[in-house]
Amino acid sequence: MQDFVYQSAPMRVVFGAGTLRQLPDELSRIGVSRAVVLATPRQNDLVADIREMIGERFAGVFTGAVMHTPVEVTERAMETVREVQADGIVAIGGGSTTGLGKAIALRTDLPQIVLPTSYAGSEMTPVVGQTSGGIKTTQSSPKILPEIVIYDVDLTMTMPAKLSATSGINAIAHAVEALYARDRNPIISLMAQEGIGTLARTLPKICAEPGDKAARTDALYGAWFCGVCLGAVGMALHHKLCHTLGGLFNLPHAETHTVILPHALAYNAPGAPEAMTRIATALGVPDPALGLQDLARKLVAPLSLREIGMPESGIDQAADLAVTNPYWNPRPIEREAIGALIARAWRGDPPQTAS
């Protein structure tokens, strides 16, 4: 067994159905008396429920969260935080809202409670990705990690089947890269394999029957495990490519992960044989890269970057940017091979593993 270091994140998780009702007690636990609520317009009804639930502790709301956490949006949200004199953050939604809350916490060190409505997983990490001028960069700090995450299965029941599919594969991507991370460890590897297997089994059930509460519960459990993986170890090529493509072309986050994951895994396969075995076992398939693309196909999720709005003319630009700043990866980063990978992903070709 390899030498390893394992560090547990200092955060509280409340998991179950109907756990939203515990929000007032959790606010009291961290001493928040004036909470700013972050959301998107789709959560207006939920924001109204929370306002009634927490009463005087509802200081204000900002509903302008958008994907990729643009710095100009964070600056507008900061104006609201200052105006209402907030002493805490309640973020409701998927990765966009969670990212905004984390960006605010980075600037203010305000305590956060996150109420996820998707399988994004970023609520479990001390990392925030922010976009400025079409470039998405990440930053890590203890201030970024939410203090409390309330997983309420009921909040995921209305997530459309299409979004459930791509959000779930986005979560799987965290666990896939955790299995070949430079700082991987046995605990996270166990959680990664469990998370991949659980989501691979439950996502088809959810897409067939979105109201299946048992499947929704298992999927949220699997997504939590994958989120823990994302927060515990470093990521590699897959996440770098997705940040590059998303920032350059404003592509939808979960869909980009869904398209790129099989190709990035195939690229890294020669340098990560143990991870490939674990992923294949979790998926129940002989070839994990093809298995992940087949899962996306079964879920009627996008298979190409062309489908989600990337121009073919951007392939070389994306490849150049993806290799600009060196980063660790189990297989060396080669410009020509990365360009070919992105081209295959743009067309929606099967992933290609190097011999």
Secondary structure (3-state) at 129: strand
Question: CA 75, CA 81: separation in Å to the nearest integer?
Answer: 10
CATH hierarchy code of domain 12-156 = 3.40.50.1970
Report which DSSP code applies to 324: T
Apex 321 CA angle, 318 and 326, nearest 5: 135
Cα separation, 311 vs 249, in Å, equals 8
Task: Write out the residue limits of the CATH 1.20.1090.10 domain(s) in the chain.
Answer: 161-347
Superfamily of domain 161-347: Dehydroquinate synthase-like - alpha domain (1.20.1090.10)
> DSSP assignment, residue 70?
B
DSSP conformational letter for 209? -
Buried b (16+ CB within 10 A) or exposed e, 212-237: beebbbbbbbbbbbbbbbbbbbbbbb
d(CA 59, CA 77): 13
Partner residues linked to 12 by β-bridges: 148
Q: What is the pTM of this model?
A: 0.92
Residue 218 carries which side chain, given as an amino acid letter? D
Q: Where in the chain is the domain with CATH 3.40.50.1970?
A: 12-156
Read out DSSP for 9-23?
---EEEEESSGGGGH
> Cα separations (Å) of 235 from 86, 179, 327?
33, 10, 10
What tens-digit pLDDT sequence spans the chain (355 residues)? 678 787 777 899 999 999 999 999 999 999 999 999 999 988 889 999 999 999 999 999 999 998 889 999 999 999 999 999 999 999 999 989 999 999 999 999 999 999 999 998 989 999 898 989 888 888 889 999 999 999 999 999 999 999 999 999 999 999 999 999 999 999 999 999 999 999 999 999 999 999 999 999 999 999 999 999 998 999 999 999 998 999 899 999 999 999 999 999 999 999 999 999 999 999 999 999 999 999 999 999 999 999 999 999 999 999 999 999 888 999 999 999 999 999 999 999 999 987 6
